[in-house]
Amino acid sequence: MRILISVYDKTGLVNFLSSIKDHIDEIYGTEGTVKYLKENNIAANNSSNLTGFDDLLGGRVKTLHPAIFSGILSKRDSESNMQLEKYHYKDFDMVICNLYPFVEASKTDDLEKMIENIDIGGLSLIRAAAKNYKNVAVLSHPDDYGMVKEVIQKNGKIDMKTKEILGLRAFSRSADYDIQIYNRLYRKLNDKQPEELFIHGYDRTDLRYGENPDQEAYMFKVNEKYGIPNSIQLNGKELSYNNILDANAALETVQDFQDITSVIVKHRTPSGVSSAGTLKEAFINSYNADPESAYGFVVALNRKLDMDTAKEMQKKFIEVLIAPEYDTDALNLLKKKKNMRILKCSMDHDPEKAIYSVSGGVLVQSRLDYSYDNLELKSTAEAGKEKLADLEFAWKVVAHAKSNAMVLAKNRTTVGIGAGQTSRIESLKIAIERGNSNVKGSVLASDAFIPFDDSVIECYKNGIDAIIQPGGSIRDDDVIKRCNEYKIPLYFTGKRVFLH
């Protein structure tokens, strides 16, 4: 077996070559790779022996030559063999190549570094070998070494199915490389979002079905860090499509809280949220905020799960549990519930744009941010420190409830949530009905402006103490006037947090 090697990332290379040394006839490599191999007692020939030139243009040109690419692209038929023989070219059975770290270079924000880390020769080698996968095994990442080593040691050669897998991986990696170059270089040169949208989804997970049993569904990763696709499942059945949607809603909500917080979600909207001094207290409060809805629910915590909280959770029917860390004893206790899906997940916000599918296209937008520049008092009455804390808490929650969302909160715990209605006053009435006797003394957050003073009247009738909303209605004066009449503190954020 004749191998051509040109790698930037040399991780695992020596061990791999050593493990298959009995199957190697000859190795050719670029100058830096050959030097590295010889330092590790692996014999290799410089590719310049084939091309007749050393690296040119400071290394920009190394392998771009017919002597290299003819040996990779040869079909191994009589005509190809005759042409290779005519020019004294050698054919290759394996190409090991990985690419310059363009993504890492782009993080420096140095344009010259970005340009010099756009791989030309390496990408060409990978594409050529992948095109001729029937005759050439292409290893385009150190992750490929383990599989190929196992196949060779078992069969003495690389079978066609393995070559197909390697070829497809190579095309996937080269496509992603081009996507990264376009996206990052465009932003650097134009300081704005690219005009064309390219997305690389990988590590496909086949889901049992979609929102309904007759729908096919899959989950892909689009990065290596954020969100439910990158969580580690520690227990339970496989996640369903709907589990993932609910888990994402719970995670994105709890990420907005710095205090110890528990978020319970049903059908992609919070049903109970609480911040408290302990995780156990926060969880109990979030559950009791709406126990009727909290049956077969998703819960997200922003602190390590402890035993006290786990004991409380053991009594409940939880579909999915999300936390950044788990005490060993607490985790072992909950693992006794075989069906409970337990996820370890990063609490970092995803900085990338949100993408939604519509018939015939996609919508792209920056992710919702609850923060506002200035909280403006619009009424004559002011809220005290505790009520202001509740208003800020309710505002964070309403930013994650579906429109027309109205959230009631007291003591940093939701009292009632009305969402997903066509009428804002109807959402408020639902929130009040959910809160029942706990409504008195609570505060109200509205995700968009309150268009009529009927909501203020409803607040007054039910003992709701303060209101926070974006403002911006043509009837703002009517709302302010009614709040002043009832001595209800009213604050404008100047920002809408509407989820359609």
Tokens 């799960």: give the residue: 305
Residue 156: CB atoms within 10 Å? 9
Q: Which of 131, 200, 221, 344 is catalytic?
A: 131
Distances (CA, A) of 427 to 395, 419, 422: 15, 6, 8
For residue 438, say if its preceding peptide bond is cis, omega within 30 degrees of 0. no
Q: Which of 267, 335, 337, 378 is catalytic?
A: 267
Q: Cα 393 to the chain's mean position, in Å?
A: 26
Q: Please confirm, yes or no, whether 225 is among the known catalytic residues.
A: no
HSE (side-chain half, CA atoms, 13 Å) at 140: 28
Alpha-carbon distance 104 to 486, whole Å?
Answer: 59
The answer to whether the beta carbons of residues 106 and 139 sit under 8 Å apart is no
Report CA Rg, the chain: 30
List of residues 6+ apart from 9 with CB closer than 8 A: 98, 101, 141, 142
3-class secondary structure, 123: helix
Q: Please confirm, yes or no, whether 267 is among the known catalytic residues.
A: yes
**Can you give 73-100 as a three-state secondary structure string?**
HCCCCHHHHHHHHHHCCCCCCEEEECCC
Question: What are the helix (H) ranges across 335-487?
Answer: 385-398, 424-435, 454-461, 476-486
What residues act catalytically? 131, 267
